[in-house]
């Protein structure tokens, strides 16, 4: 796509419960307001007010919907504007900000705000689990236990350090599971004694971890990896590879790419979508190609296959 963002009609939704949400509104308004430009701000006071704020913002069919918050807030907005003419502008105000990291959007607010008018619009994929959209990674196993321990209070106290702390706590009580991965080409993987299964649409998750070295948010593929429980020393070696994504090359990890995959477990297991427990196995994971128009910095290399039909 690679077009200049249209900013004649701009709607701004900011989660004022996010760590820096309350002070971003004046900065956004100061930068965006100008002759011939209509800017309407809709504060969202926590998760309870987000849907109402998005309803109000999208009622006027804006050219650009600017959303400030964490990955959960951004993901909720992305699902609403997918396959519409409204582009999404991202202000990363959360703890992890993995979607912004994948797209190369700066976390410094003045630079992120400038991106809204100085960047360009590209097309990226959404992941879907039984139709429900997600941006970064859907997963089950250890990650669900981590999410349950990753309380708002812990994130406020520790920031990004909350993720490894919650992971260590969850690991101590993890119960292994078995899963069957049914691929679109008819192939099947039967896996046992698993720690976690992750299905990545984007590149980053969990506060800066990487799905795989080749993962991209516009390659029209899901990156799927399954980690065996193994021994403690295996997990120590795996942990060193999480930042780069090279864990997919570890002997205890199974890795495939696919456009569509069905995941079946012996008993229903909860599925974590970008930090929200929102689905249950058995579940079908699919790529929704070029579903989202999003504003990224001109120097961003995130959308290298932007608009392509893909493999």
Residues assigned a catalytic role:
276
Of all helices (H) and strands (E), which one includes residue 233?
Answer: helix 232-239
DSSP state string for 13-79: EEETTSTTHHHHHHHHHHHH-BTTBEEEEEEE-SHHHHHHHHHHHHTT--SEEEEEE-HHHHHHHHH
**For residues 282 and 17, what is the distance between their CA atoms, to the nearest angstrom?**
34
Q: CB neighbours of 248 closer than 8 A, spacing ≥ 6? A: 212, 213, 223, 225, 255
**Separation between Cα atoms, residue 105 and residue 138, nearest integer Å:** 22
Q: Which candidate, 198, 211, 192, places its Cα nearest to that of 261?
A: 198
- Contacting residues for 206 by C-beta, under 8 A, at least 6 apart: 96, 98, 137, 143, 163, 242
Rounded (10°) CA dihedral 15, 18, 21, 23: 150
Distance from chain centroid for Cα 217: 10
Strand extents, DSSP E, 49-163: 64-69, 87-92, 120-129, 132-134, 137-141
Q: What is the CA radius of gyration of the chain?
A: 19
């Amino acid at each position: 796509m690679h077009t200049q963002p249209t900013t004649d009609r701009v709607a701004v939704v900011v989660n004022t419960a996010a760590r820096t949400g309350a002070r971003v509104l004046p900065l956004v308004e100061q930068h965006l307001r100008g002759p011939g430009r209509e800017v309407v701000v809709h504060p969202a006071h926590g998760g309870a007010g987000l849907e109402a704020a998005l309803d109000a913002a999208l009622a006027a069919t804006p050219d650009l919907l600017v959303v400030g918050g964490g990955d959960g807030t951004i993901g909720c907005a992305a699902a609403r504007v997918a396959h519409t003419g409204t582009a999404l502008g991202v202000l990363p105000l959360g703890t992890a900000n993995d979607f912004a990291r994948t797209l190369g959007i700066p976390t410094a607010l003045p630079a992120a705000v400038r991106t809204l008018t100085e960047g360009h619009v590209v097309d990226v994929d959404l992941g879907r689990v039984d139709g429900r959209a997600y941006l970064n990674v859907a997963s089950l196993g250890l990650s669900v236990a981590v999410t349950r321990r990753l309380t708002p209070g812990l994130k406020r106290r520790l920031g990004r350090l909350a993720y490894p702390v919650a992971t260590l706590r969850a690991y101590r009580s993890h119960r292994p599971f078995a899963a069957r991965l049914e691929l679109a080409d008819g192939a099947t993987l039967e896996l046992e004694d698993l720690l976690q299964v992750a299905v990545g649409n984007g590149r980053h998750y969990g506060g800066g971890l990487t799905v795989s070295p080749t993962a991209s948010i516009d390659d029209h593929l899901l990156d799927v990896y399954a980690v065996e429980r193994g021994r403690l020393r295996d997990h120590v070696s795996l942990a060193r590879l999480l930042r780069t994504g090279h864990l997919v090359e570890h002997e205890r990890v199974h890795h495939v790419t696919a456009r569509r995959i069905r995941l079946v477990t012996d008993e229903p297991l909860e599925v974590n979508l970008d930090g929200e427990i929102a689905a249950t196995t058995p579940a079908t994971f699919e790529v929704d190609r070029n579903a989202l128009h999003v504003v990224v910095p001109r120097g961003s290399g995130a959308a290298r296959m932007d608009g392509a039909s893909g493999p």
